[in-house]
Amino acid sequence: MRRLTFPRGGIVPPDRKHQTGRALLWNAAIPRTSIVPLLQHSGEPAIACVSRMDRVREGMLVGRAASSRSANVHAPIPGVVREIRPVVLPGGISCDAVVIDMDGEFDLLGKRAEVRDWQSCDRRTLSRLIAEHGVVDMDGSRLPMPLSYGRMDHRRCDTLILNGCESEPYLSGDHRTMVEQVSSVLTGLEIVSRVTRPSRIVIAVESNKPDAISALRTAVRSSGLESHVVRLRVRYPQGDERQLVKAVTGREIPSGGVAADVGCMTLGVTTARAVYEAVVLGIPLIERVVTVAGRAIAEEANVKVRIGTPVGDLIEECGGFRKTPMKVVMGGPMTGHTVTDLRTPITKGTRAVLALTAGEIRGARTLPCIQCGRCVTSCPMGLDPTRLYKLIEHGDLRRAASEGLQDCTECGACGYICPSRIPLVRQLRQAKIRHGDGGSGE
């Protein structure tokens, strides 16, 4: 049995998935009010195509993609547009959001969807369907889907990788999706492979999800999809595109490049499922699986949630807080962002909502760097985080950039491993933004 992994750096933190990884997915209640940001992807915001007091139907287009670097946004619930107001999303992104108060009938919920015969569609049609339904990469880059494979156009895509690693602690939404909805995931994968025409398909899953691996193997055999399932060693950040491509193919995405540069494309599990719903069932991207976890959550679970549901509603539905959380994080514990406003909406890219107690956050005081070198050993990108940190502290962004600041993928391994609790990732992240703004003409 092959058990591949990427060669350098990486950490193996406690995974904390036992609870949610075993429980069945369930559907969250439909929110009374849905706050639908027009920028849930990376790129340009969509342009609102509804206005105040307009009546919208479930799944109706409310934001139109502004360009190819943008994505459609749909109404997750039927109702009336109360207002269009600016919101701030985790990570400091600000954009307009369409606020919908629920009212009226559901067109999609509880109805049997019409199944499209996608096998007879050509590439172009499939690609258009994916774009129209607002599918973006929901597992990492948040790029509009057509962009992530559009980059393949001039190059041969020889390997399409289904990313079932989910190596970040707490997260288990992909895991449950692979176990419970394996055939839709595989169909989504097949659709994308029809568009990108790879010469081989690899399904990569970390070895801590044996039930997902066996479900996938069985489904692959019966569906006749030409692909093989590989088990990867459990190691963070294996779900990152660069590490995954390296682990599976041995190829290294060049600095500043994308997977397409080495003939690869990665597809997340949740995204594959969204592709399936969009193309086969004609349902736009209006809900996603979110892992709700952390010791402060009463009932940890993986929940299917409508986009735009306020974080507070979702937590309420999982039994509320059992303890006072030290902080609430949207996204994984390593890469996510702290939110202070529980009315912040779930977006297409929200993989998790974590309410962490003081015991889960090792929030000790920052001590001086003792040059132990653990951050260097843990960095999958071969950087020297402590040196970058010091360069940034001394204001030498130019030097930091020449030593690879922009190569940092913000995986958080260095900050996790640091015995002095230095906020390495926060510093590097902010410096990347500053340098990207001011020094790009360098």
Partner 1 sequence: MWIVTLCLLPGAGWGVYLYGTRAALVLAAAILSAVVFEAAAARLASRVTLRDGSAVLCGLLIGMSLSPAVPLFIPVVASAFAMFVVKWSFGGLGGNWMNPALAGRVFVAFSWPGAMTTWPAPRTLDLVDGLAGATPLSLVKATAPERAQAPIAVLRDAGYPVSAFDTEVTSWLNVNVLGRAGVNLPTGYVDLFVGNVAGSIGEASALLLLAGTIFLFARRIITWHVPAAFFVTFAVCTRVFGGLTAGLGLFEGDVLFSVLTGGFVLASFYMATDPVTSPLTGGGMLIYGSVAGIIAFVLRAYGQFPESVALAIILVNAVVPLIDRLCRPRRFGHREVRHGS
Residue 407 within binding range of partner 1, rule CB under 8 A: yes
Residues 358-377 that bind partner 1 (CB under 8 A): 367-373, 376-377
Residue 183: both structure tokens together: 């055939």
The residue from 257, 319, 320, 359 that contacts partner 1 (CB under 8 A) is: 257
- Cβ-based nearer residue to partner 1, 9 or 79: 9
- Cβ-based nearer residue to partner 1, 131 or 262: 262
Residue type for position 186: L
Residues touching partner 1: how many (CB under 8 A)? 29
DSSP bridge pairs for 95: 87
- Cβ-based nearer residue to partner 1, 76 or 237: 237
- Cβ-based nearer residue to partner 1, 327 or 435: 435
Burial 167-206 (b: 16+ CB within 10 A, else e): bbbbbbbbbbbbbebbebbbbbbbbbbbbbebeebbbbbb
Q: Cβ 382 to partner 1, closest distance in Å?
A: 4
CB neighbours (10 Å) of residue 424? Answer: 26
CB neighbours (10 Å) of residue 438? Answer: 10
Q: Cβ 232 to partner 1, closest distance in Å?
A: 18
For residue 84, is it left (φ>0), alpha (ψ between -120 and 50) or beta? beta
Nearest to 171 by CA among 361, 412, 356, 333: 333
Q: Cβ 5 to partner 1, closest distance in Å?
A: 14
For residue 313, CA distances in Å to 30, 97, 285 come to 10, 18, 20
- Cβ-based nearer residue to partner 1, 8 or 426: 8
Could you give the string, one character per residue 39-78, with x where binding to partner 1 holds by CB under 8 A and - elsewhere? ----------------------------------------
Residue 404 within binding range of partner 1, rule CB under 8 A: yes
Residue 394 within binding range of partner 1, rule CB under 8 A: no
The residue from 381, 388, 397, 431 that contacts partner 1 (CB under 8 A) is: 381
- Cβ-based nearer residue to partner 1, 241 or 300: 241
Residue type for position 255: S
Q: Which range, of 47-55, 131-139, 229-237, 255-263, touches partner 1 by CB under 8 A?
A: 255-263
The residue from 380, 392, 425, 435 that contacts partner 1 (CB under 8 A) is: 380
- Cβ-based nearer residue to partner 1, 316 or 396: 396
Residues 165-184 that bind partner 1 (CB under 8 A): none
Residue 436: both structure tokens together: 């990207």
Residues 334, 356: Cα–Cα separation, whole Å: 12
Residue 408: both structure tokens together: 């940092």
Peptide bond into 310 cis (omega under 30): no
Could you give the string, one character per residue 3-32, with x where binding to partner 1 holds by CB under 8 A and - elsewhere? -----x------------------------
Q: Cβ 49 to partner 1, closest distance in Å?
A: 40
- Cβ-based nearer residue to partner 1, 77 or 392: 392
Residues 194-253 that bind partner 1 (CB under 8 A): 242, 246, 252-253
Give the sign of the dihedral formed by CA 355, CA 173, CA 277, CA 29: negative
Q: Cβ 167 to partner 1, closest distance in Å?
A: 17
Q: Cβ 252 to partner 1, closest distance in Å?
A: 5
Q: Cβ 326 to partner 1, closest distance in Å?
A: 22
Residues 261-320 that bind partner 1 (CB under 8 A): 261-262
Q: Cβ 417 to partner 1, closest distance in Å?
A: 10
- Cβ-based nearer residue to partner 1, 100 or 161: 161
- Cβ-based nearer residue to partner 1, 9 or 63: 9
DSSP bridge pairs for 97: 37, 85
- Cβ-based nearer residue to partner 1, 210 or 395: 395
Residue 382 within binding range of partner 1, rule CB under 8 A: yes
Residue 83 within binding range of partner 1, rule CB under 8 A: no
Residue type for position 176: R
Residue numbers of the site for partner 1 (CB under 8 A)?
8, 242, 246, 252-257, 261-262, 367-373, 376-377, 379-384, 386, 404, 407
